Amino acid sequence: MSAGGGGLGTPRALPSSGPRALRDMPHPLAASSSEEAASELTPSPDLLLPRSFADKDLSLPNGTPVDTSSPASSSSLLNRLQLDDDLDGETRDLFVTVDDPKKHICTMETYITYRVTTKTTRAEFDLPEYSIRRRYQDFDWLRNKLEESQPTHLIPPLPEKFVMKGVVDRFSEEFVETRRKALDKFLKRIADHPVLSFNEHFNVFLTAKDLNAYKKQGMALLSKMGESVKYVTGSYKLRSRPLEFAAVGDYLDTFVLKLGTIDRIAQRIIKEELEYLVELREYGPVYSTWGGLEVELAEPLEGVSACIGNCCTALEELSDDMTEDFLPVLREYILYSESMKNVLKKRDQVQAEYEAKLEAVALKKEERPKMPADVEKCQDRVECFNADLKADMERWQNNKRQDFRQLLMGMADKNIQYYEKESVPASCF
């Protein structure tokens, strides 16, 4: 634990590129600062502690300054210092909901907007409540901005952008509802994130009446800055990838495969169920026809026919539910995993750059006795990235567990309900 050049009173910076002005945040390991904060944090062993804050120049590899504009009140400070995100109602102070889809028909196009409602006690927001309307484009814009401005964090996925016209009806109730749920989840995940939720773009997204004006502003700024960070597709040769990231990388590869398999199985089951349904629809009426030939047997025959008819209804509900609720969530997690993998690659890239610079310096050892500033900068970047990512990974794992628990229990529930519905008329018989 090396101490930097700063004296007493100079706050040690928290290694995060979050929106907070880092000067204002006490060092998590500083003795005098809130002990709770210290006990919450478990910095990883390979995380090198930052030196003097003053020397820091926290910017992205390409030079764009990190978004640190949002001030935070001291009451929500504790929130943000928690790397382990405990989501009980008491600590939450930002609630976001997506609902009320509406169709808009204009001369140029037809599209759907969703109402986004925000309730909050945070000082970053002027009002305690907001209600604005947004369309998918806006969500997409938000996600891109978040990726640009928070490259060391994992951004939640959006539902798929493109739908094949003619195959899927973009304006059908089922499609819109599925999308709405996914968008709601997207915003909730951001709102629950201790760093992302303070992002300026997120704030504007939730509050601005005219988002397009703000978007244009941002576009101009960006073109001055040059290209934003692009997704990394290749892999980088590293000296030593930290164990936990390597492990997560392997995990994600297998995880995505398994999810893909489950997706295919679920689709196959739905297909088989629908084919079963087709046959049942022909089966039931034959009993009725037979009933028409008989006198004494008419009643039991009609009874069987009714049972089968009932089974058809219940089965249709089951396969609709699975299509609308189960499959989309599964696919969302595949997207989520893919984007996690991309963030891991970015991290690798940052580490690789650092190592390259380090190597270059090592070769010229005689000439430079001390670590040059730019190499130190790189090292800091790596540390920040690692810390952010580690926190996000843990959060992701927890959420994943809860989400799948809910998803699979839901699937079991739907099947139970199906059988319960089916057995009712049969017992009356």
Partner 1 sequence: MSACAEGEPSRAPIPMERPEAEPLSASGSCQAGEAEAEAGSGPAAEEPGGRAAGTMMEDCLSKKIEITVSEAEKRTGRNAMNMQEIYTAYLIETRAVESQTEGQCSPPDSLWRRYSEFELLRNYLLVNYPHIVVPPLPEKRAEFVWHKLSADNMDPDFVERRRIGLENFLIRVASHPIICQDKIFYSFLTQEGGWKEMVNETGFQLKAESRLKALNATFRVKNPDKRFTELKHYSDELQSVISHLLRVRARVADRLYGVYKVHGNYGRVFSEWSAIEKEMGDGLQSAGHHMDVYAASIDDILEEEEHYADQLKEYLFYAEALRAVCRKHELIQYDLEMAAQDLASKKQQCEELATGTLRTFSLKGMTSKLFGQESPEQREGKIKVLEEQIHDGEEQLKSKNVEGREFVKSAWADIERFKEQKNHDLKEALINYAVMQISMCKKGIQVWTNAKECFSKM
Task: With CA atoms as reference, report the closest residue to 94 among 72, 67, 66.
Answer: 72
Q: CA 247 → CA 84, 253, 279, 328, 390, distances in Å?
A: 19, 10, 48, 27, 12
Q: Are strands 110-120 and 94-105 parallel, antiparallel or unpaired?
A: antiparallel
Helices (H), 150-210: 173-191, 200-207
Encode 92-137 in three state secondary structure: CCEEEEEEEEEEEECCCCEEEEEEEEEEECCCCCCCCEEEEEEEHH
Q: Which stretch binds partner 1 (CB under 8 A): 33-41, 167-175, 373-381, 398-406?
A: 398-406
Question: Applying CB under 8 A, does 136 fall inside the site for partner 1?
Answer: no
Shorter beta-carbon distance to partner 1: residue 361 or 407 = 407
Q: Which of 286, 360, 371, 373 binds partner 1 (CB under 8 A)?
A: 286
3-state secondary structure of 10: coil
Q: Is 343 one of the binding residues for partner 1 (CB under 8 A)?
A: no
Dist. CA 400–CA 216, nearest whole Å:
36
Member of 217, 268, 359, 360 binding partner 1 (CB under 8 A): 268
Residue 110 vs 406, nearer CB to partner 1: 406
In angstroms, what is the minimal distance from the CB of 329 to partner 1? 14
Residue 152's alpha-carbon distances to 15, 71, 383, 392, in angstroms, are 12, 20, 10, 9
Instruction: Measure Cα distances from 358 to 246, 363, 370, 371, 412 in Å.
Output: 22, 9, 12, 9, 54
Contact range with partner 1 by CB under 8 A, out of 54-62, 274-282, 325-333, 353-361: 274-282
If one asks whether residue 258 binds partner 1 (CB under 8 A), the answer comes out as yes
Which position has the token pair 């997704």?
231
Cβ proximity to partner 1, 56 vs 414, nearer residue: 414
Of the two residues 11 and 303, which places its CB atom closer to partner 1 in the complex?
303
Distance from chain centroid for Cα 424: 41
For residue 384, the minimal CB distance to partner 1 (Å) is 27
Q: At its nearest, how many Å lie between partner 1 and the CB of residue 112?
A: 33
Rule CB under 8 A: is residue 320 a binding residue for partner 1? Answer: no
Burial class (CB within 10 angstroms; exposed 0-12, middle 13-18, buried 19+) of 75: exposed
What length does the chain have? 429
CA-wise closest residue to 20 among 122, 96, 119 = 122
Applying CB under 8 A, does 405 fall inside the site for partner 1? Answer: yes
CB-wise, 125 or 404, nearer to partner 1?
A: 404
Helices vs. strands in the chain: H and E counts, helices first: 10, 3
Q: Of residues 5, 65, 128, 285, which one binds partner 1 by CB under 8 A?
A: 285
One residue of 251, 321, 356, 394 binding partner 1 per CB under 8 A = 251
Closest distance to partner 1 from the beta carbon of 284 (Å) = 8
Q: What SS3 state is found at 178? A: helix
- In terms of CB distance, is 54 or 265 closer to partner 1? 265
Amino acid code (one letter) for 292? G
Q: Is residue 87 close enough to count as binding partner 1 by CB under 8 A? A: no
Structural element, H or E, at residue 386:
helix 373-428
84 binds partner 1 (CB under 8 A): no
426 belongs to the binding site for partner 1 (CB under 8 A): yes
Closest to partner 1 by CB, 54 vs 278, is 278
Phi, psi at 75, each rounded to 5°:
-70, -30
Residue among 90, 282, 366, 367 that touches partner 1 (CB under 8 A): 282
Q: Which of 131, 289, 359, 372 binds partner 1 (CB under 8 A)?
A: 289
Q: Does 327 bind partner 1 (CB under 8 A)?
A: no
Nearer to partner 1, 316 or 353 (CB): 316
Give the residues lining the site for partner 1 (CB under 8 A): 251, 254-255, 258, 261-262, 265, 268-269, 272-273, 275-276, 278-280, 282-283, 285-290, 292-297, 300-301, 303-304, 307, 401, 404-405, 408-409, 412-413, 415-416, 418-420, 422-423, 426-427, 429
